[in-house]
Amino acid sequence: MDNLSVGFAICGSYCTYDKMLAALREVKDKYGKVQAIMSEKSFETDTRFGTAEHFISEIEGITGQKIISTIKDAEPAGPKRLFDVLVIAPCTGNTLAKIANGITDTAVTMVCKAHLRNNRPVVIAISTNDGLSGNAANIGMLLNRKNFYFVPFCQDDPINKPFSLVADLGRITDTIDAAMQGVQLQPLLLAK
């Protein structure tokens, strides 16, 4: 499974960015070629978790490549067959809903649509406050579709945020390896 070309798409959920950066390093170390894609909002938004400039610098430092951050630049991923596998980490509920319902209006949703035309796997690392409410149906839809694989996830705070789900970002490479074999990594639902 080594020497894969990996697309690594990044959405909001800024509170997970430190873990996302660690996962990105692990993916780069294991597979070699990694191209980061960021949604337009994540590419330009400063938050209490850090500035966009800081995260862009970190991500480009890890991958050694300029980030794709526009729909126009993301579209060639399909025709050029840029990736063996596409990872979306973190994947917000907003992005998950758009993918499940065929909406393409960000660099991340475009790269997903373009990548899927090649019948190759998409690995989703969910991070959403409504995974067990508004987005539960979208998770179900994608679990039922070919080429979608989820990084195992759990409720991150069942008492204070009972509908919130977050993927174990430390299991991305295991999920990639399973997805490349056409298998959903199990167990999918983790205990906190």
The domains located in the chain, with CATH, are 5-180 (3.40.50.1950)
Tell me the CB-side half-sphere exposure of residue 5, using CA atoms within 13 A: 9
pLDDT digits (tens, 9 = 90+) for 5-44: 999 999 988 888 999 999 999 999 999 999 999 999 999 9
At residue 1, the pLDDT reads 60
At residue 15, the pLDDT reads 85
Angle at 168 between CA 162 and CA 171, to 5 degrees: 160
Residues in the chain: 192
The per-residue b/e assignment along 117-130, b for 16 or more CB within 10 angstroms, e otherwise, is ebebbbbbbbbbbb
Distance of CA 1 to the CA centre of its chain: 19
CA 41 vs CA 24, 49, 71, 108, 161: distances in Å = 19, 14, 12, 11, 24
At residue 151, the pLDDT reads 98
Mean pLDDT per 10-residue segment, the chain (192 residues): 90 90 98 96 90 95 98 97 98 97 97 98 96 96 97 95 96 98 97 84
Q: Which residue type, as a one-letter code, is found at position 135?
A: N
At residue 126, the pLDDT reads 97
